[in-house]
Structure 1
Amino acid sequence: MRGLGPSAVQPAVVRTGFVNLLGTQEDVEVVGEAEDGAQAVRIAAETRPDLALLDIRMPHKNGIEAAREISASSGGATKVLMLTTFGLDEYVYDALAAGAAGFLLKDATFPELLHAVRVVAAGNALLAPEITNRLIAEFVHARASRLPVHPPADLTARETEVLTLIARGLSNAEIADRLTITDHTVKTHINRLFAKLELRDRAQAVIAAYEMGLVRAGARHR
């Protein structure tokens, strides 16, 4: 796995510590370290890492803008993991909507950081740590109270079921088992609902499901 960052984590000694610790892992190669958001975008464009670890609050270009640009320029190939100071940082939802695949508190332990990096790189960031699902639920619940409720477009009943199960944290295999269908059929439903709702990844699918009211904040995930 090739990664960028952490970017703009303050103070600099903390950022350097993260880089050094990540560098001790055989399956992780740190290809760049940035002091601010603008530099992170430039380095990501040059190195095309598998994952970028960004601070949600950065000078010159904040984490939301950087995440959006990195995700867009890489066509979604570079996954973005955001670091935030507080569990209820007001910008977390916007960061996820901008293309970030997940987020982690800055006071997380190194094993937690390493786990999150690997989970995000595998494309399952929002659906792995339970705390991530709880925080997303809180943000979307607050956001949804200010937004009109959108019906599930022209989704079929089965596609709506699949979207709901994605938001509850189930993997493709678990969805197949729950609905008694094949993995291939699950992938077909996911591809179709992603196309209908113009979703880029599972992160946006989770957000869409909450905003549609298919899943309630604080509800059980299984």
Structure 2
Amino acid sequence: MDESNARHKAKMQKIKAARDRMMETKTEEKGLVIVNTGPGKGKSSAGFGMIIRCIAHDMPCAVVQFIKGNWSTGERDFLRDNFADKCQFVVSGEGFTWETQDKERDIAAAQAGWARAKELILDPEIQFVLLDEINIALRYDYLDIDEVVEFLLHEKPHMTHVCLTGRNAKPELIEAADMVTEMTLLKHPFRDGIKAQKGVEF
């Protein structure tokens, strides 16, 4: 073994020892409240990635999709066509607010979605629930942020994971969450006149 490789091995052994010591202290398990927010792309994509992981681990899961309505998405078609027995998929929105142009309908759809979401979260068989674009409904006050946070903190079963996606997550939700990821926008082709692409954005 040459000197450079020997130094590298010694360094990696120290890192591994430190990592092992750290991992020994991580013993608790709990259902997480996860928030994916920020102006960058990938919030829903990351949430659906976790749904696929749950299916791979035989963990019953569910999706409640707010706002997007009947807009056809690949993830919805894929899950409904192939994994309806493992992942329930609920569409509560009627479309983006600038499409419906009816605030009362938007509020009613969001509240119906939240009512269904609570049922799914409380279902003892379901281990992971994705609330896709719920942050938009919360941003427009279609849902009461205090009620949502109170439910997640005090009524959600201890081992159930809930992921909430969408831009502009409210501070109260960020404070209550166990894990928060902010997607940062550096570049987006929409700015250059390129429309949403199949397989990338829907």
As a proportion of its length, which structure holds more helix?
Answer: 1
Which of these two proteins has the greater Rg computed from alpha carbons?
A: 2
TM over 0.5: no
Q: TM-score category by the smaller chain?
A: 0.3 to 0.5
Higher RCO (CA < 8 A, seq sep 6+): 2
